[in-house]
Structure 1
Amino acid sequence: MKATSQQTQSLALIVDDEPFIRMILRNFLEREGYKIVEAQNGIEALTVFNQLHPDIVLLDAIMPDMDGFECCTQLQILDCSKHIPVLMITGLEDEESVDRAFEVGAIDYITKPIHWPVLRQRVKRLIQQSQLQQKLEAVNLELLRLVTIDGLTEVANRRGFEEYFSQEWQRMKREQRPLSLILCDVDYFKSYNDTYGHRVGDRCLLKIAQAIKDIVKRPGDLVARYGGEEFAIVLPHTDTQGATYIAEKICDVVRTLAIPHGNSQVSPYVTLSAGFTTEIPQPNSDLEEMIAAADRALYQAKTAGRDRFVQNTLATQMQ
């Protein structure tokens, strides 16, 4: 019989304390095109499983030292076991044994003496289901990434910002640690678009987003396109001093890009205005008020002349 590409690429782990059973299972599955690895007991099976990450485990229920039920229980604890199906092979047909097999994590079972056509279909089906589940999870992760990432700048989008900011707000509230939020706006960006065109405007936003990402490097920090030419930076575990440093660096790095802007009223190059606020969230404090405070600071930076940053609502100019 000609093996399918799935079978040729799939590795089956046979776990049985009887060499004869392992041999006949190996011969059968190799004829079906599977690659085979063996273990003669549950302890050895755990080691092999961890090293090779097989596509399926054919596990004998009754073995000395560590039986198949305990082995299956231990397999479920391993990080790499999430999508690997366990097919229990047992001479036990009583209801209690069948129930226990499923309780410890077996996906299916087959009884001895083995009915070979049934085994062939069970193995094939379980591997196909496992592979399909992995593909679906990968697609779902990509979809989740797409709905929270801005397609132009490749930083988080508004939805990604709102979800993450809410999550970190709650976390900082529990931990009673400081949370900083910076809102940035590209100065005179409408006139930039009118002068150079939207395609050049898009390239400008992309350069600025990447420059901000180069500044905001900690794994827990987030850079997001808040809307249009506006960006938001979420900085957990960051006090006023830390947020001041980041805001200053962001304004500086955009100046350093030296992107020409002939219609800017503050510089011959593209510049950025920023406003930020820092607080330790309290049980009675409001997440939306923190965003509003950063927005007010951004407005104050603009009215003070742009190309600068301002801290919260005190309009303390920091250049």
Structure 2
Amino acid sequence: MTAPIEENQLLALIVDDEPFFRTVLRLFLEQDGYRVAEAENSIEAINIFEQLHPDIVLLDISMPDMDGVECCNKLHSSAQGQHTPILMLTSVEDERSINHAFAVGATDYVTKFLPLSILRQRLKRLIEQSQLQQKLLAANQQLQLLVNLDELTQVANRRRFEEYLSLEWQRQIRSQQPLSLILCDVDFFKSYNDTYGHLAGDGTLVKIARAIKDALKRTADLVARYGGEEFAVVLPDTDALGAIHIAKTICCAVRTLAIPHRNSLLCSHITLSAGSTTVVPQPNSDFQQIIATADRALYQAKAAGRDRFIHNSSLDSSFANPSYSLFGSSAPKRCGFC
């Protein structure tokens, strides 16, 4: 059903219930340098499409069981089909069927009596347009990625953090599921820069960002550089116990890096302070509230001696809840709780 494969050949899928017409098209396309796959009905076409991901589909509009319009709709609905040109083939120019085909994702149509020289140009134009569209899409995705990334650490930037937190806040208002936030600050980082220089400081921020990112196991979790030596972690659908576990894991991961800091007032290497909070967002509330609560918890962690995390589990400041730290508030200022 398919010609010998060469890496640079384009793959065309012919879908038609007439064997003679498929043969004519196949010979023509192979002569023009295409690889060719054939299907005699829509079900077979969908299976081949999912397996081979052709560069273009030539699809008969009139077939038994599932017609070409319905097949086109199913192909176009798939992720791959959204970028694959679908050329509808028709024996009779039925305006209603053609309009329906365009409505469900067809790229163009031709009659089966069209001269092959014109068909050749149509195919060339459709594939060139598809390739250009995919290049533009990739370029836009790369641009969007750059807009949302912190240039130094390659995690999300402040803009992306606030955008994502706002979206998750609204989503959790609808679902009434918990949303957690962790704010982290590198302990005595100004002293670190003064001691080792800003280049070393930049390298340390990169390592810390990577350690925080590696501590997150779900694609929905987002780590962002909040500003300077501060990082933020958004944890959708995460309760207080989950946030506490992640905060502890992050602090341990940074300590495990064992980055020397001889002028730290705590110990001989880099540590983190973190504040976390968990809330079920309510209607007519603002996501800035959760940031303020996590920021207060971070301040409490610093005031309690740093190298620790504190968790506040309610946006209501009057809510009596326990705080969690790396070691008790009466413990000596030392490193190590993992």
User: Given the alignment of the two structures, is residue 228 of structure 1 paired with residue 235 of structure 2, yes or no?
Assistant: no
Query: In the alignment, what sits opposite 1:10?
Result: 10
AA at the equivalent of 2:159? R
Code of the residue aligned with 2:31 in structure 1: it is R
Identity %: 64
Residue 30 (structure 1) aligns with? 30
> Residue 145 of structure 2 corresponds to which residue in structure 1?
145
Q: Structure 2 stretches of 5 or more lacking a match? A: 1-5, 327-338
- Residue 121 of structure 1, CA deviation: 0.5
Tell me how far apart the structure 2 counterparts of residues 7 and 317 of structure 1 sit (CA, whole Å).
58
Q: How far does the alpha carbon of each residue in 1:6-52 deviate from its partner, in whole angstroms, 9 at most, with x for none?
A: 99521111222333222222222222111112222333322322222
Task: Return the alpha-carbon distance in structure 2 between the equivalents of residues 256 and 102 of structure 1.
Answer: 58
The Cα of 1:216 is off from its aligned counterpart by: 2.3
How many residue pairs are counted as aligned between the two chains? Answer: 314
Structure with higher helix content: 1
Q: In 2 relative to 1, CA 174–98 (structure 1 residues): closer, same or farther, beyond 3 Å?
A: closer
Output the amino acid matched with 1:108.
D
1:318 and 2:325 matched: yes
Change (3 A) 1:252 1:88: closer
What secondary structure is seen at the aligned counterpart in 2 of 1:82? helix
How far residue 208 of structure 1 moved from its aligned partner, in angstroms, is: 1.4
Matches of 2:218 and 2:66, distance apart in 1: 45
CA deviation after TM superposition for structure 1 residue 197, in Å: 0.8
Report the CA distance shift for 1:102/1:190 in structure 2 as closer, same or farther (over 3 A).
Answer: same
1:200 equivalent in alignment to 2:191: no
3-state SS of the aligned residue for 1:130?
helix
* Deviation of the 1:237 alpha carbon: 2.3
> How far apart, in 2, do the equivalents of 1:48 and 1:158 lie?
44
The 5 Å alignment of 1:155-174 reads: 155-174=155-174
CA 1:241–1:17 in 2, change beyond 3 Å: closer, same or farther? closer
Aligned to 2:135: 135
SS in 2 for 1:318: coil
- Asked if the contact 2:301/2:325 (under 8 Å) is kept, the reply is no
Q: 1:221 to 1:103 in 2, by over 3 A?
A: closer
Task: Describe the shift of the 1:160–1:58 C-alpha distance in structure 2 as closer, same or farther (beyond 3 A).
Answer: same
Q: 1:237 to 1:105 in 2, by over 3 A?
A: closer
Q: What SS class does the counterpart of residue 83 from structure 2 fall into?
A: coil
Give distance in 1, aligned partners of 2:112 and 2:254: 71
191-200 vs 262-271, which deviates more? 262-271
Matched, 1:272 2:272: yes
CA RMSD after TM alignment: 2.3
Once residues 248 and 63 of structure 2 are traced to their aligned partners in structure 1, the CA distance between those partners, rounded to angstroms, is 67
CA distance in 2, matches of 1:284, 1:101: 44
| TM value normalised by structure 2 | 0.85
What displacement does 1:249 show? 2.7
Please state whether the residue corresponding to 1:278 is helix, strand or coil.
strand
Runs of 4+ in structure 1 deviating by more than 6 angstroms, as ranges, are none
Work out the CA distance in 2 between the residues paired with 1:62 and 1:284. 53
- Structure 1 residue ranges without an equivalent (≥5): 1-5
SS at match of 2:281: coil
1:83 corresponds in structure 2 to 83
* SS of alignment partner, residue 298 of structure 1: helix
- In structure 2, the residue matched to 1:254 is 254
Please give the TM-score of this superposition, normalised by the length of structure 1: 0.90
Partners of 2:255 and 2:98 lie apart in 1 by: 69
Q: Could you say if the C-alpha distance between residues 24 and 251 of structure 1 is closer, same or farther in structure 2, counting changes exceeding 3 Å?
A: closer
Task: Give the match for residue 330 of structure 2.
Answer: none
Q: What's the offset of the Cα at 1:94?
A: 4.4
